[in-house]
Amino acid sequence: MSFSFEAPEMITSEEFDLEPTDIFATGILLFMMRAGSRPFLHATKTDTYYRQIYSGKAANFWKLHSKSKPSDDFFSEDFKQLVEGMLQADPKKRFTIENIKSSNWYQGETADKTAIEEEIKKLQKLVKEFYRTENEKRRLEREKAKKETEAQIDKAAFSGFKVYRGSEDV
């Protein structure tokens, strides 16, 4: 089963407006950027996660997604309100560009250049350490495989031959 960015109305009807469907898809992307995972597979009543939003039980949606996060307040209330508005099942009730721009999350605090640079340095350090560790693992795996191959060759190279007295000197 593949993942979809389609708004519910794209799945269930032949006609739909582009702006609400684009806002829906953007809501999915926003969620993914913050959460590091998809909000749901498909915007249908049968999807476990989307069903929570569709049926007006957004608190359950956030509860399900918060289980794998480091803290209960990983998703701010302002973020939740924005995403819920963008993923609203009814395109007539879905947030518009104006609603998004006036939302508390959109209007909220942003990082300055120094904070961003510090965060990037931290991430670069983590990535560098990850690659160093991965390269070391691979080196050790190659070394182990080489030794195993050499041992198999040594074992097989002279199998089937009769050893004669004094042949060690040859």
Of 139 and 166, more confident:
139
Q: Is the pLDDT of residue 1 over 50?
A: no
Q: Is the pLDDT of residue 33 over 70?
A: yes
pTM over 0.75: no
- On whether residue 170 sits in a domain, the answer given is no
Question: Which residues are CB-neighbours of 63 under 8 A, at least 6 positions away?
Answer: none
99 with 83, same domain?
yes
pLDDT in tens, 126-148: 899 999 999 999 999 999 988 88
Q: Alpha-carbon distance 113 to 55, whole Å?
A: 41
- The boundaries of the domain holding residue 122 are 114-158
103 with 122, same domain?
no
Q: Which two tokens stand for residue 131?
A: 């690659």
Give CA angle at 34 (95, 47), nearest 5°. 65
Q: Alpha-carbon distance 94 to 25, whole Å?
A: 12
Q: Which two tokens stand for residue 126?
A: 């983590």
The pLDDT value given to residue 81: 97
> What average pLDDT does the chain have?
86
